[in-house]
Amino acid sequence: MIVGVIGTGTMGRGIVLAFAQAEGYEVCLYAAEKKRVQGAEKKNCTGIGKRVGKGKITKEKAEEILGKIKTGTK
């Protein structure tokens, strides 16, 4: 199943990560401006990286999660 999220604020990023971590979902994150999408991608990578650093998930699992997230402006 594909889930679409419009908005890159704290809530939007949280929803995206929650679905990306669940089995069977891919997520599309949209915002009106490319810089907002890029900022959200960076924050998601940082957040997932912290979980890897703490040993909560493996690097492979982190890559899998981030790979399920697609972004766009349209």
- 15-71 pLDDT, tens digit per residue, is 999 999 999 999 999 999 999 999 999 999 999 999 999 999 999 999 999 999 999
Q: What is the pLDDT of residue 53?
A: 96
Helices (H), 1-74: 10-21, 34-53, 59-67
Q: What is the pLDDT of residue 74?
A: 82
In sequence order, the β-bridge partners of residue 9 are: none
**Token pair for 8:** 């890159």
Q: What pTM, to 2 d.p., does this model score?
A: 0.85
Host H or E run for residue 47: helix 34-53
In this prediction, residues 3-12 reach a mean pLDDT of 94
**Token pair for 53:** 């650093």
